[in-house]
Amino acid sequence: MEMFLPAARAQPERLHSAPDVSVIIPTFNERENVGKLVSHLIATLHGLNWEVIFVDDDSADRTVEVLRDIGHYEPRIRCIRRVGRRGLAGACIEGILSAQGEIVAVMDADLQHDHRLLPDLVAAIRDGNDLAIATRYSSPRQETALSPFRSAMSRIGTYLAQRLITARTTDPMSGFFATRRDLVEAMAPRLSNGGFKILFDILSNAEPDVRIAELPYRFATRSAGHSKMDRRVALQFLGLLFTKATRGLVSLRLVSFFLIGAAGLGLHMALLILVLVAGVNFAAAQAIATLITMVVNFSGNNLLTYHDQQLRGRSFFRGLLVYVAICGIGAVVNVGIATALFTVAGPWWVAGLAGAFVSGLWNYLVTQTLVWNR
Q: Which residues are at the interface with Mn ion (CB under 5 A)?
A: 110, 112
Site for ligand GDD in 249-268 (CB under 6 A): none
182 dihedral zone (left: phi>0; alpha: psi -120 to 50; beta): alpha
Displacement of CA 232 from its chain's centroid (Å)? 11
Give me the sign of the Cα torsion angle 168, 171, 174, 179: negative
Q: Which does 201 bind (CB under 5 to 8 A by kind): ligand GDD, Mn ion, none?
A: none
| Angle at 32 (CA atoms; ends 31, 33), nearest 5 degrees | 95
Rule CB under 6 A: choose which of 67, 77, 79, 88 binds ligand GDD: 88
Least distance between Mn ion and beta carbon 194 (Å): 18
State the binding partner of 130 from ligand GDD, Mn ion, none, CB within 5 to 8 A by kind.
Answer: none
Identify which of residues 112 and 334 has a Cβ nearer to Mn ion in the complex. Answer: 112
Closest approach, Cβ 114 to ligand GDD, in A, equals: 12
- Minimum CB distance to ligand GDD, residue 259 (Å): 26
CA–CA separation, 187 and 177 (whole Å): 17
- With CB under 6 A as the contact rule, which of the stretches 80-88, 206-214, 268-276, 352-360 interacts with ligand GDD? 80-88
Check residue 91 for interaction with ligand GDD (CB under 6 A).
yes
- Cα–Cα distance, 213 to 129 (Å, whole number): 6
Nearest residue (beta carbon) to ligand GDD = 175
Residues listed for the chain: 374
Sheet with 77-81: strands ordered across? 77-81, 50-56, 21-27, 103-106, 177-180, 131-135, 212-216
Gap between the Cα atoms of 210 and 301, Å rounded:
38
Q: Which is nearer to ligand GDD, 240 or 275 (CB)?
A: 240
Least distance between ligand GDD and beta carbon 253 (Å): 19
x/- binding map, residues 101-120, to ligand GDD, per CB under 6 A? -------xxx-x--------
Kindly determine how many residues on this chain lie close enough to bind ligand GDD according to the rule CB under 6 A: 22
Q: Given the complex with ligand GDD, which of 175 and 261 has the nearer CB atom? A: 175
Which conformational region is residue 267 in: left (phi greater than 0), alpha (psi within -120 to 50 degrees), or beta? alpha
Helix 313-343 / helix 282-300 crossing angle, nearest 10 deg: 120
Q: How many CB atoms neighbour CB 289 within 10 A?
A: 21
CB closer to Mn ion, 94 vs 110: 110
- Identity of the residue, 57 or 110, whose beta carbon is nearer to Mn ion in the bound complex: 110
Q: Which of 22, 27, 169, 251 binds ligand GDD (CB under 6 A)?
A: 27
Question: In a 3-state reduction of DSSP, which class is residue 79?
Answer: strand
Binding string, residues 203-232; x marks residues near ligand GDD by CB under 6 A: ------------------------xxx---
Task: Report, in Å, the least distance between residue 284 CB and Mn ion.
Answer: 56
Q: Which stretch binds ligand GDD (CB under 6 A): 84-92, 275-283, 292-300, 308-316?
A: 84-92
For residue 247, give every residue at least 6 positions away whose Cβ sits within 8 Å of its Cβ, in sequence order, or none. Answer: none
Q: 219 and 192 in contact (C-beta within 8 Å)?
A: no
Name the binder of 27 from Mn ion, ligand GDD, none, CB < 5-8 A by kind: ligand GDD
Alpha helix ranges (H) inside the chain: 4-9, 31-44, 63-73, 88-97, 118-126, 148-164, 181-187, 198-205, 231-245, 252-277, 282-300, 313-343, 348-370
3-class SS of residue 214:
strand
Closest C-alpha among 332, 331, 350 to residue 342: 350
Q: Which stretch binds ligand GDD (CB under 6 A): 27-35, 260-268, 328-336, 362-370?
A: 27-35
**Which residue, 108 or 130, has its beta carbon nearer to ligand GDD?**
108
> Residue 112 CB, nearest distance to Mn ion (Å)?
5
Binding test (CB under 6 A) with ligand GDD, winner from 19, 26, 239, 261: 26
Which positions lie near ligand GDD, rule CB under 6 A?
26-28, 30, 55-57, 86-88, 91, 108-110, 112, 154, 173, 175, 196, 227-229
